[in-house]
Amino acid sequence: MSKFKKALLCSIAPMLVAGMLGVTTQAVASGERLYGRFTNDNELYAPRDYREWVFIGSNVTPNDMNDGAAAFPEFHNVYIDPGSYAHWKKTGEFRSGTVIVKELASIGTKEAPSGHGYFQGEFGGIAAMVKDAKRYPDKPGNWAYFGFSADSRHGAIQEESACSACHQQNAGQDQVFTQFYPVLRAAKP
């Protein structure tokens, strides 16, 4: 096989496979990588490498501090894709294509050699939010919210407005809770 045919095959094979699997990917004119992978129905595939992204913070709202009824009684370890973090540092804005992943971890023990506190237990799944003006032009701020069950390869769009409504009413900037992420605040120009 000629070098040209090999190069052509290497360049189109991933696109053919993605097409057969019903996967769409994002690209930008500059060739910069965007991190969301989607089904043809614009459902986000579960990001697998998010722990290699930029860690922006961890929150916990435990039951014992919320009359036994915390809305989210687990740790939320939150990551943003590297390209969107770089864009944030330059502009102070979340670009179209931003993917933010919230990893859920149970509260494990409350005692450690260092003292009493809340320490992470087991992982319980992930949720994500994606800003994309082309895929979600009718969603507030172009943000779509995804929930992933433990065994799903892709997350269904959360059509209920609970996620979006809370983010719109309470988030620090552009539906992102920047007020709780010192990493984002410190990097903003």
CATH number of the CATH domain containing 119 = 3.50.70.20
CA distance linking residue 67 with residue 57, whole number of Å: 25
Q: What is the mean pLDDT of residues 167-178?
A: 95
CA distance linking residue 105 with residue 64, whole number of Å: 16
**Is the residue at 92 inside a domain?**
yes
90-127 pLDDT per residue, tens: 999 999 999 999 999 999 999 999 999 999 999 888 99
Q: How much is the pTM?
A: 0.80
**Is the residue at 34 inside a domain?**
no
**Is the residue at 33 inside a domain?**
no
Residue 112 confidence (pLDDT): 93
> Are 127 and 94 contacting, i.e. CB atoms less than 8 angstroms apart?
no
Contacts 24+ apart (CB under 8 A), 93-98: 93/174, 94/131, 94/173, 94/174, 94/176, 95/131, 96/131, 96/132, 96/133, 96/134, 96/142, 97/26, 97/28, 97/34, 97/35, 97/36, 97/130, 97/131, 97/132, 98/130, 98/131
In order of 45, 83, 113, the CA distances from 98 in angstroms are 14, 8, 39
**Is the residue at 99 inside a domain?**
yes
Judged by DSSP in three states, 46 sits in coil
> Are 36 and 155 contacting, i.e. CB atoms less than 8 angstroms apart?
no
Find how far residue 11's CA is from the centre of its chain. Answer: 28
Residue 188 confidence (pLDDT): 97
**Is the residue at 41 inside a domain?**
no
Instruction: For residue 141, give the nearest of 176, 183, 170 by alpha carbon.
Output: 176
> Are 97 and 107 contacting, i.e. CB atoms less than 8 angstroms apart?
no
Residue 29 confidence (pLDDT): 44
Q: Which residues constitute the domain of residue 161?
A: 46-187
**Is the residue at 26 inside a domain?**
no
**Is the residue at 10 inside a domain?**
no
Judged by DSSP in three states, 29 sits in coil
CA distance linking residue 169 with residue 186, whole number of Å: 23
**Is the residue at 148 inside a domain?**
yes
The total number of structural domains in the chain stands at 1
CA distance linking residue 57 with residue 77, whole number of Å: 6
